[in-house]
Amino acid sequence: MVTIRYLTEPGLAGFFWPVVLTAVLVAILGGALSWLVVVRRLSFIGQGISHSAFGGVGLALAVGAGAGTAASNAAMMGVVLAFAIVSALVIAAIADRRTGNTDAAIGIVLSVAMAIGFLLHHHAQRGAAARGLAPPPSIEQVLFGSITTIGWSDLYLGTVLGAVALGLLAWKRHAVVFWMFDESAAEAFGVPTAPVRSLVLAVLAVVVVITMKLAGVVLATAVLVLPGAAALRVSSRLGPVIVVSIGLGLVCSLAGLVAAFELDVQPGPTMVLAMVGCYGAARVWSGRR
């Protein structure tokens, strides 16, 4: 198998192991949050954040981040992360107004951010060509991910950011769960619902940015939806749902990654198709149960 050769040969193992471990990280982060996204019906918000992050990619490329070194890659992730978090907070602020609408807020922020991203990406391409520098990542790489962009520094940085994000969510877990199931009652009992909503969206933004390194902008949303949707077909208890969601995310991510290695294609689409298969199997199983 090609996968075994990639992971065992000395000349290739150092290149492909960060990819495998990043897939594991993405599966854990997505599975840990997927149930919340599905139950709270935040799927479209997650997609809005993921597409808005493309504006951050364009901004990072325009200011010269992401040149290939560990420091520049970290700078690029920082710019994209800041842009995604700001986009998430803007969505929360607009959607929270009495006369506002969640879908409208997402559409506004998504459209503006995507337009900014495309213009800045084009500007970065022209600037690199004029100075005789290496071209920035193509739009296809940004939208669908590329295994060639993942290194140990990306894995370390993603692990730290993911741990901080999940740690914050665990710290406020009681308020988050109360807000998730009944926002009106939570506010009546004194839970600060606006800060909780902003915290959840900021954590989603962090996970989206980490996932973009492997799955790309377009496919990052699937990691936040499909594992939890499948897990909720298997169980209705919160504890088992979280465990099953993370487990399915791991199995599907690794299965999709192996398929990508064997077929020599981008890993993002194969990972998502594996998750779709798990969701279909969960629906069939729950229908027969």
Indicate the pTM of the whole model. Answer: 0.80
Q: How far is it, in rounded angstroms, from Cα 50 to Cα 195?
A: 21
Segment 231-257, tens digit of pLDDT: 998 887 888 888 999 999 899 989 988
With 0-12 CB in 10 A as exposed, 13-18 as middle and 19+ as buried, what is 135? exposed
φ and ψ at residue 63, rounded to 5 degrees: -90, 5
Class of domain 2-288: mainly alpha
Q: How far is it, in rounded angstroms, from Cα 139 to Cα 145?
A: 9
Report yes or no: 272 and 226 within 8 Å, Cβ to Cβ. Answer: yes
CA 156 to centroid of chain Cα atoms: 16
What pLDDT, on a 0 to 100 scale, did the predictor assign at position 148?
55
What pLDDT, on a 0 to 100 scale, did the predictor assign at position 251?
92
What pLDDT, on a 0 to 100 scale, did the predictor assign at position 250?
92
Query: What are the extents of the domains in the chain?
Result: 2-288
What pLDDT, on a 0 to 100 scale, did the predictor assign at position 17?
86
Q: How far is it, in rounded angstroms, from Cα 19 to Cα 151?
A: 7
Segment 18-76, tens digit of pLDDT: 888 888 888 898 888 888 888 887 777 767 777 777 788 888 877 766 555 556 667 77
Q: How far is it, in rounded angstroms, from Cα 78 to Cα 65?
A: 9
